[in-house]
A and B are shown apart, each in its own frame.
Chain A
């Protein structure tokens, strides 16, 4: 069976959950082979890759690779594509991942599909499923030229363990001069507050225009913390300066697909729906019974979020004790 290259997404040496999802997806297409780019691979990281079925771990561990954005990972993958002729290359749908996939596609002369929510083998072709236009349309696509390069959206595939014992293969890549033209000179960590990443979270609690102020987000955060959830905001709330832009869910912000999405004081314009419509279960709290977001609700309450949400937070507290 041909290898399926999976670009490992890691933070400070820890394998991110998206990688375990990609390894799970890759198993339907061939033999998953993880590709680690940069220094700092640990036994724990290899163990995680092994647990989710990597039969091989390519390690391009040179320090130089982490000093430049995007281009080095594309060059490592391009070299491996040339050497092993994989069945496909799967890359996480992060900003870095999509840009890496884009450069790789140009380098090796392959078609590219981004933001797949599923991948499947269909005879000798690979079919990617995309959920486009805010989840209103489901598209099945195939790369028709070269090795399929597919970026896969976070939280789209449920990771399933399938322990393998991977062989480590060290890879040396001579970076091109072009790849070294931009240099990373510093890093500022996001202020986290202990909440999960918005795009990875299993539960997202969001606030919109109805929250009314920056202070109003206190009740949204309290509910999120009672559920171990990430906090999101509609564009109306981020444009008003009530909550930072990086938490915006919607067409011009992040796309999330959690198990549970709780929308508070959000009317549900297409702008917002585009970013959350594929959430598995949707709960809505809004004063306006005509708000279009109720069309998406599995459970909705017409009422004032400043009474409903604190009561919900308190009730969750009671039930979890």
Chain B
């Protein structure tokens, strides 16, 4: 089988994030770029599927030049090839435009599955996989905590607010995975060396048959009016436990009418 895995370079999960004055876009320069954590689970799931069923894994990423590091990381985990969409016109793209770019990048290439992490740690919208399924007209099997493939069908356990649903579809399908699905592998030294020789196709927006005017800040269908740092919280009361810490908290909760 042939699997595409979509990965995104995001600011380090542990770094403080901020918007830039002026264009209100996420400041991606002030923090190290890393592979979105949930995408590592997507790569891992794809690798496990081809280890069981045979095939190849192609990494797809949209992002500036340095996002190539993230594509390389996925290749060092064991993926076979990469497609990196790089174009100055992409800066500031909203989820709608992003989904259009990704749909164009994967369609017509005989993929059985396109796998995503269920959200990115920067934008946290969780909408791109569903949008890509909508655009491609493929089955949407997302928020998977378990994936099984058999006889041309994919069956997942979809994590829901109330437990989980079993969802089945014929492939091709768009998948997103949640954290509990697996434990992503670390790239081995051998994997890191091998990744340097793997093919990465670097393409521009025009190569996908999309107009530059259809992506980026100018084409975004929502806009930030203004933003501000949250006002700092007024300092609270902190006491040291002298044997009555629990009683003191209870008194505070009573004053606040919680009990």
Contacts and interface: CB of A to CB of B under 8 A. Distances in A.
Interface of B: 13-19, 24, 37-38, 94-96, 99, 118, 121, 124-131, 133-135, 137-143, 155, 157-170, 173, 179-180, 220-230, 233, 236-241, 243-250, 252-254, 256, 258-259
A143 B161 contact: no
Interface string A299-312: 11111100111111
Contact of A139 (B160, B162, B220, B227): B227
Contacts of A85: none
Interface of A: 11, 69-71, 74, 94-96, 98-103, 105-107, 110-115, 127, 131-133, 135-146, 178, 181-190, 197, 199, 203, 227, 245-246, 248, 251-253, 259-260, 269-271, 277, 281-285, 289, 294-304, 307-316, 319-320
B130 A99 contact: yes
B159 A103 contact: no
A106 B99 contact: yes
A187 B240 CA distance: 48
A270 B222 contact: no
B153 to A, nearest CB: 10
A281 B237 CA distance: 12
A187 B159 CA distance: 10
16 contacts: A69-B142, A137-B19, A139-B227, A182-B173, A184-B167, A227-B258, A252-B38, A283-B253, A284-B238, A285-B245, A294-B238, A297-B237, A297-B238, A298-B237, A302-B240, A308-B245
A141 B25 CA distance: 12
Given A182-B139, A319-B254, A113 B227 contact: no
Contacts of B238: 284, 289, 294, 297, 299-302
Main secondary structure of the interface of A (DSSP, over half): mixed
Contact of B227 (A140, A299, A310): A140
Contacts, number: 281
Given A137-B18, A138-B228, A319-B259, A144 B130 contact: no
Contacts of B162: 11, 189-190
A139 B167 contact: no
A280 to B, nearest CB: 10
B162 to A, nearest CB: 6
B41 to A, nearest CB: 10
A156 to B, nearest CB: 14
B16 A103 contact: no
B143 A95 contact: yes
Contacts of A298: 233, 236-237, 252
B49 to A, nearest CB: 18
A253 B37 CA distance: 12
Contacts of B224: 139-141
A103 B163 contact: no
B14 A114 contact: no
Contacts of A245: 179-180
A257 B46 CA distance: 35
Given A301-B240, A302-B239, A307-B243, 15 more contacts: A11-B161, A98-B125, A99-B142, A102-B126, A105-B96, A110-B221, A133-B16, A136-B229, A178-B137, A203-B258, A259-B258, A270-B15, A295-B233, A300-B238, A314-B246
Contacts of B254: 319
A197 B161 contact: yes
Contact of A315 (B13, B169, B247): B247
Interface centre among A141, A271, A313 (most CB of B within 10 A): A141
B163 A299 contact: no
A100 B133 CA distance: 11
Given A99-B142, A310-B246, A69 B165 contact: yes
Given A113-B222, A137-B19, A140-B227, A269 B134 contact: no
Given A127-B225, A144-B221, A315-B250, A102 B130 contact: yes
Nearest to B137: A178
A179 B113 CA distance: 17
B136 to A, nearest CB: 9
B197 to A, nearest CB: 32
Contacts of A199: 161
Contact of A142 (B225, B236, B250): B225
Given A133-B16, A300-B238, A315-B250, A187 B163 contact: yes
A100 B239 CA distance: 47
Contacts of B164: 187-188, 190
Interface centre among A143, A181, A282 (most CB of B within 10 A): A181
B190 to A, nearest CB: 27
Interface centre among B19, B99, B256 (most CB of A within 10 A): B256
Contacts of A11: 161-162
Contacts of B37: 252
Contacts of B243: 307
A143 B94 CA distance: 11
A107 B134 contact: yes
A185 B96 contact: no
A303 B245 contact: yes
Nearest to B247: A315
